Structure 1
Amino acid sequence: MMKEKRDHELQTLKEIAELLNTGTDVDSLLINVLERLLHITELETGWIFLIDEDGNHELAAAVNLPRALARNNTARMCSGDCWCLNKYRNGHLSEATNIMGCKRIEKILAEKVEHTNGLTHHASVPLRAGNERFGILNVGTPEKTTFNDGELALLESVAFQIGTALKRIHLTRLEQEAALSAERNRLARDLHDSVNQLLFSLSLTARGGAEIAENTETKETFTYIQDLAQEALQEMRALIWQLKPHGLENGLISALTTYSEMIGIRIHATVRGLICLSEQMEAVLWRIGQEALANSKKHSGESDVYLVCEVDSERIFFQIRDEGTGFHYDQEASIPSLGLKSMKERAEQMHGSFQLKSSPGNGTEIIITLPLS
C-alpha cells in the first residue's frame, strides 16, 4: 500500500514536471498544472496567487472555485487581505501549511447569503525557486479541515516545481529581451555604417554637381537630388535613433523631447507626480511615444505636440495629442493602422489600456493608462 502511494506521488510529480518544462505562457501553464494537480490528488478546488516584491497579489489561476468566490469575475479573490497572504508578506509562510480556516470563506459564511459548497479550509504552499518567492498555491476540498504530512510534502514538491518554472520563464524572457536589444543595436550600427554614409556621400556629390553645373536645368536636377538625399538622411537618422535611442538613460520625457527635435516638431510636456518607472514600462512608453510623434509629424500638418505624463500610487496616465487635421475614427471599428495597433498591443501587454480619439479638423489624441503594480 505504501509503495503504491509512493508510486502515485512520483507519477504526479513526473506528469506535472512534463507540463512545466514545456510551457512558456504563464497564465495557461498555471491553469493546466492546477487542473492536473487537482485531478491526480482528487482535491476539488485550487487557486494560485502571484505576488510581486511590494506584496501586491494577482489571482493568476483558479479551478472550481465555489460560486461565492467566483462571482463578479472573482472580485472577492482579487482584493482585500486574507490570512495566507498576510503570512506570506510577513515571511511566515516558508513551507506547506495547514490554514486553520480561510478569512474570505469565513466572511462569506458569516454573511449567510451564499454557500461555499462545503469548502471551509485550505492548505497554503509558497511558490519558491531557491531564495526567490513568486506567490502561493492554495488547495482544498469540501469538508477537509486538515492535510497530513505526506499530502503537504507532495504539495510542497509541486509548488517548488511551479516556482522553478516561473523562474525559468522569467529568465527566458530576459534573454529574449537582451537578444532583441542586441539585434536592434547591430541593425542600427549597420545602417549607420552603410546606408547612412551612402546617403551622406550622395548629398555631397549632388551639392558639388549643382555648384559646377552651368545649365540651369542640370543645376535644378542636382539640387533636387540633394534635397531628396537630405530628406532620406534625416529619415535614416530617425530610424537609427528609434532602434537605439540615445537619451533614454536620462528619462522618458528627455528621450521623447530629443526625438521630437530630431524629426522637426516641438513637444510641450506636462509632468505630474514623481516618475520612477521600471525599465520595461519605460521602454513600452518610449515605443508608444515615438510612434505617436512620428504619426503626428507625418499626418497632422502641425509642428506642435502636447504630452501629459501623470503618475500616482496606482497608475501612470500618458497622453499625446496634436491639433492637426485629424481623421474620421469610429470607436466601434477596428484600429486603422499597424502603428496604432502596435501601440494598443504594447499597452495591453502591460495590462494597461489604449484609447484613440480623432475627428477631421480636431486633431488626434492618444491616451495610455498603465497600472504600476
Structure 2
Amino acid sequence: MPEEKQSATEGLERRNHELSVLNATARELNRSVRLDEALEFTLSQVAELLELETGWIWLLDEPSGEPYLAATRNLPPGLASDPRRMDGSSYCYCLDTYRRGDLDGAANVNVLACSRLADLVGGTGGLRYHASIPLYAGPKKLGVMNLASPGWRSLSGEELRLLYTIGDLLAIAIERSRLFDRSAHLGMMEERNRLAREIHDTIAQTLSATVLQLESAEALLEEDPCSPRAREALGRALSLTRQNLQEARRSVQDLRAAPLEGRPLAQALRVLVDRWEEESGVAARLKTVNGASPLPPRVEVALYRICQEALSNVARHARADRATVRLTVTPERALLSVEDDGVGFDPCRIPEGHYGITGMRERAASVGGTLEIESASGRGTTVRAGVPLKEG
C-alpha cells in the first residue's frame, strides 16, 4: 500500500539520519581532547537530532563531587541573565535524584519538571520540563545532560536509546579529556620542580657565596676601622644580599608548593580570605557561584594572584572595615571581584611607584582577560577581573 510504503521509507530515512548523527558524534568525541568542545558539540548534535533547542550539562567535580555547570545551549533569559540560578550548589531536583542513584540505567533518560524554572514568572521561554540523561563511566557518576524545548513531546523508545548511547559516548570523552588534563598537570609539576632546582643551584648558591664574601670583608674591616664609609657600604650590601637570598628561597618555595596545589580556585581563595582576615583585622567574606567548576591552571593562578594583590592593597591603603571577594564561573567566563568599603581613590591618578595595579592588569591580560577598577574618594574600591573561557 502506498501509505505503508511511504511510512516505511520515512522511517528508514529517519533511522539513517539518526545513525549519521551518531557516527558524526562518535568521530568528533573521539577526536577532541578539549572537554568544552566535546560538551558543546554533543549538545548541538542532540538538539539538531531531536529538535530540543535548549540544553545544559552538569558535571561532578572530581576532588569534591560537587556539581558545576559545564556547558549550555540557548538558555532562556531567566537562567542566562542570572548565573546564581545555574549554580551547582543550589537545589536541583534532577541533580539530587541523580546523585542518589535514582536515574540509574538506560531505562531512564527521565522527563522531569525543572526546579530551577519553577518559580520564574517570566523569562522561561516556555520551558518547564526537560529530559535528564545520566552520564556514567562504569559505576562512577560523571554528571547529567538536560535537554528541553517549549513544545515538549514524549520521546520514543528509539530516541531514548539513542540518547543513552550518546550519553555513553560523551562519558568516554569526558574521562579521556580528564586523563589528558591530568597528564598535562603532571608535566607542569615536573617543569616547576625543574625550575625550582635550577634557581636553587644558581641564584641561591651565588647569593650564599656573596654573603660569605661580604661577611669576610666585614670581619677584615673590624681590624682596620679607618674606613667607616666602606663599612657602611658593605653593611648595606650585606643587608640587601640577605634580603635577596630570602626572596630567592621564597620563590623556590612558591614553585615547589603553589597555593593552588591540589585545590580548586574557590577552595584556595577561601584559605586566602580567611588568612587575610586574621592578619589584617578587616572583616572579609567570600561568595562563589559555580565555584566547583574547574578552570585552566593559568587562569586559576592569574585570578588567585589578582585577588592576593587586591586584598594586599586593601590592607595597606583602604582603611576599610569590610572586604568582599566574589567568584562567578559560567561556561563562557570567569569573573572575580574584590570590593571594600574604604576611603577610595581616583583610579586615573595613581602615584608613581605603585606597581600593584599594573601587575594585576598584566596578569589578567596574560590569560586573555581584562581588569577594571571602580573607585572614588570616600566610596570604597572594587577591582573586577574577567577572563573568557572560550576561544574566539
TM-score range, shorter chain: 0.5 to 0.7
Contact 2:38–2:170 (Cα < 8 Å) also in 1 = no
Deviation at 1:339, TM superposition (A): 3.5
Q: 1:209 aligns with which of 212, 217, 231?
A: 217
Deviation at 1:155, TM superposition (A): 1.1
Partner of 1:127 in structure 2?
Answer: 135
Partner of 1:48 in structure 2?
Answer: 56
Partner of 1:175 in structure 2?
Answer: 183
- Identity of matched residues, %: 24
Partner of 1:263 in structure 2?
Answer: none
Contact 2:55–2:148 (Cα < 8 Å) also in 1 = no
Contact 1:270–1:307 (Cα < 8 Å) also in 2 = yes
Contact 2:110–2:133 (Cα < 8 Å) also in 1 = no
Q: Does 1:267 align with 2:279?
A: yes
Cα distance change, pair 269–366 in 1 and its aligned pair in 2 (3 A)? farther
Contact 1:98–1:146 (Cα < 8 Å) also in 2 = no
3-state SS of 2:155 partner: coil
Q: Does 1:32 align with 2:36?
A: no
How far apart, in 2, do the equivalents of 1:127 and 1:11 lie?
22
How far apart, in 2, do the equivalents of 1:361 and 1:139 lie?
49
Give the letter aligned to residue 254 of structure 2: Q
3-state SS of 2:211 partner: helix
Q: Does 1:236 align with 2:248?
A: yes
Cα distance change, pair 112–207 in 1 and its aligned pair in 2 (3 A)? closer
Q: Does 1:73 align with 2:80?
A: yes
TM-score when normalising by structure 2: 0.60
Residues 251-301 of structure 1: per-residue CA shift (max 9 Å, x gap):
979x979x99xxxxx934578899xx98x89x868755665688799xx5x
Higher RCO (CA-CA < 8 Å; seq separation 6+): 2
Q: 2:165 aligns with which of 157, 165, 178?
A: 157
Partner of 1:371 in structure 2?
Answer: none
Deviation at 1:34, TM superposition (A): 1.5
Residues 195-232 of structure 1: per-residue CA shift (max 9 Å, x gap):
11210111110221233244625544544432332232
Contact 2:125–2:150 (Cα < 8 Å) also in 1 = no
Contact 2:59–2:68 (Cα < 8 Å) also in 1 = yes
Cα distance change, pair 154–195 in 1 and its aligned pair in 2 (3 A)? same
Partner of 2:363 in structure 1?
Answer: 342
How far apart, in 2, do the equivalents of 1:227 and 1:104 lie?
64
Give the letter aligned to residue 329 of structure 1: P
Cα distance change, pair 245–136 in 1 and its aligned pair in 2 (3 A)? closer
3-state SS of 2:196 partner: helix
Partner of 1:15 in structure 2?
Answer: 24
Cα distance change, pair 13–357 in 1 and its aligned pair in 2 (3 A)? same
Cα distance change, pair 359–184 in 1 and its aligned pair in 2 (3 A)? farther
Q: Does 1:94 align with 2:112?
A: no
Q: For this pair of structures, how many residues does the alignment match? A: 338
Deviation at 1:74, TM superposition (A): 6.2
Cα distance change, pair 102–366 in 1 and its aligned pair in 2 (3 A)? closer
Cα distance change, pair 194–88 in 1 and its aligned pair in 2 (3 A)? same
Q: Does 1:226 align with 2:238?
A: yes
How far apart, in 1, do the equivalents of 2:375 and 2:248 lie?
29
Unaligned residue ranges in structure 1 (runs of 5+) = 261-265, 369-373
Unaligned residue ranges in structure 2 (runs of 5+) = 1-8, 262-266, 329-335, 350-355, 386-392
How far apart, in 1, do the equivalents of 2:128 and 2:279 lie?
58
Partner of 2:347 in structure 1?
Answer: 329
* Aligned residues: CA RMSD: 5.8
Partner of 1:187 in structure 2?
Answer: 195
Partner of 1:62 in structure 2?
Answer: 73
